[in-house]
Amino acid sequence: MTGKDKKNEKEPQINIDLGLGGLFQGIGSIVDLVSEMAEKGQSTVEKTQEFSGEGALKDLKGVYGFSVKMGAGGNPEVQPFGNVKTSPSGPVVDEMREPMTDVFDEKTTIQVIVEMPGVQKKDVTVDLQDDVLTVSAKNAKRKYQKEIVLPSKIKPDSLSYSFKNAILEIKLDK
């Protein structure tokens, strides 16, 4: 192969739109999304985008998205999830996914709900260090990890959890 042929040879490409254009199809911006939520009386909206690599990178799969919740006083809370991360050199597809997570700060307890499809209870690890809850799961096909800063002090020995239908439910007493 000559140098000229090498220049014309196509490199495998991954087209990742982290500008969230694909996630906002039909919606102009996050501001429009929040306005639409208010009009429809929605408290939560979730958007997800998946992609696959091409050519030599055909086994590369990614998922990214966000969840928008209306917080106290109508302030939106945006939470990203997935395995596509930003870096100074551009988007990076990580083997580790960040699971979708909800934290409910109730009167006497804190409840954390984590969605981790594709894993079983035996794959799940829950660790608590002071006010940081670390949730992870790993099997041959999926890897998840998320560190959650708890909104208030808890009793460390009160941690209990259950895992059913890909949903991890954690309860902690304040």
Where residue 166 sits, what CATH number does that domain have? 2.60.40.790
Residue at a domain's end among 56, 78, 95: 95
Residues 90 and 132 placed together within one structural domain of the fold: no
> Residue 32: its pLDDT value, please?
72
> pLDDT per residue over 41-81, tens digit each?
777 777 677 766 666 556 666 677 777 777 666 676 767 77
| Distance between first and last Cα of the chain | 69
Q: Do 88 and 5 fall into the same domain?
A: yes
The boundaries of the domain holding residue 87 are 1-95
- Please indicate, yes or no, whether residues 117 and 69 belong to a single structural domain of this protein: no
State the Cα–Cα distance between residues 40 and 56, nearest whole angstrom: 44
| Residues paired with residue 170 on neighbouring β-strands, in sequence order | 112, 161
Report mean pLDDT in 10-residue bins for the chain, 174 residues: 43 42 50 70 72 62 71 69 72 78 92 94 95 94 92 92 96 96
> Do residues 83 and 155 share a domain?
no
The answer on 158 and 173 residing in a single domain is: yes
- So what's the pLDDT on residue 57? 56
Is residue 89 located within the same domain as residue 110? no
Same-domain status, 119 and 141 = yes
Q: Quick one: 71 and 126 in the same domain?
A: no
Whether residue 25 is found in the same domain as residue 85: yes
25 and 90 inside one domain: yes
SS3 52: strand
C-alpha distance from residue 32 to each of 39, 45, 73, 84, 154 (Å): 10, 12, 18, 24, 37
Total domain count, the chain: 2
Q: What is the pTM of this model?
A: 0.60
- 3: helix, strand or coil: helix
Last-in-domain residue among 95, 123, 149: 95
Residue with tokens 């220049």: 7
E strands in the chain? 44-52, 61-70, 76-87, 90-98, 100-105, 109-115, 124-129, 132-138, 143-149, 160-164, 167-173
Predicted pLDDT at 172: 96
